Amino acid sequence: MLMYLNALFVGLLILSNIIGVKLFSVGNFVLPAAVIVYVVTYLVTDVIGEVYGKETAKKTVKAGFLTQIIAMIFIMIAINLPAAPIFEKQAEFSTILGGSFQVMLASLISYLVSQNTDVWIFHKLKAKHGNKKLWLRNNLSTMTSQLLDTTVFITIAFYGLPWSIILGMIGTQYAFKFLVAVIDTPIAYLLVKMAKREKHSTSTGAEVTS
């Protein structure tokens, strides 16, 4: 289960960086497309931290950071490879993926701040409450870290836009993330239950084998 959670975490990170250059609107509100993906990463690290411990969650965060850097390097290489004569979309390819570097830089900085804050708050509350009140540490750690993430990410990724738009995007995106954090609480309980069951069956099988 841990392998799948780590794979999901890293996959969502890379995907959010790629699609983050697109803005979409809901009524009068403007949001980056990454918001529909990145918000789930906090749920994943909370589940990993709850079942496998703080150090494992921190390793997942570090792995995600390194993976994003590697992805940026390979995207840069891909953009600068000489285009074949039959490939007529080099300009579009460069515009879309090249435009994501500012987004990726914003993501890296906000990622380090918010994900480490999430793990820290989550385990401070876990140390206080033990295995009780998962809903509290899941929501409080996520809501706090996502406020940091949203502010840092939007400010850097879309620097140059009018501040009225940037502040509006921060408020709108955080409101969306806040709502998702509340909604995903039952999912957190379900994933934790599944992971603990799988971890228990694995450890029991290892004991029987030995």
3-state secondary structure 133-157: CHHHHHHHHHHHHHHHHHHHHHHHH
27-50, pLDDT tens digit by residue?
777 777 877 888 888 899 999 999
Residue-range domain boundaries for the chain: 2-11+44-204
What is the pLDDT, as a whole number, of residue 148? Answer: 92
pLDDT at 181 over 60: yes
pTM over 0.85: no
65-79, pLDDT tens digit by residue?
999 889 888 988 999
Of residues 39 and 200, more confidence is placed in 39
> Who contacts 16 (Cβ-Cβ below 8 Å, separation ≥6)?
34, 37, 38, 41, 107
pLDDT at 3 over 80: yes
pLDDT at 206 over 60: no
Identify the three-state secondary structure at position 24.
Answer: strand
Of residues 52 and 169, more confidence is placed in 52
pLDDT-based confidence at residue 188 (cuts at 50, 70, 90): confident
Q: What's the whole-number average pLDDT of the chain? A: 85
Distances (CA, A) of 7 to 14, 96, 206: 11, 25, 24
Of residues 29 and 91, more confidence is placed in 91
Of residues 78 and 1, more confidence is placed in 78
> Are 16 and 146 within 8 A, CB to CB?
no
Q: What is the rounded distance in angstroms from the CA atom of residue 186 to the CA atom of residue 149?
A: 23
What is the pLDDT, as a whole number, of residue 204? Answer: 66
What is the pLDDT, as a whole number, of residue 101? Answer: 67
pLDDT at 207 over 60: no
Of residues 51 and 101, more confidence is placed in 51
106-162, pLDDT tens digit by residue?
878 988 999 899 999 999 998 988 888 888 888 889 889 989 988 998 898 778 888
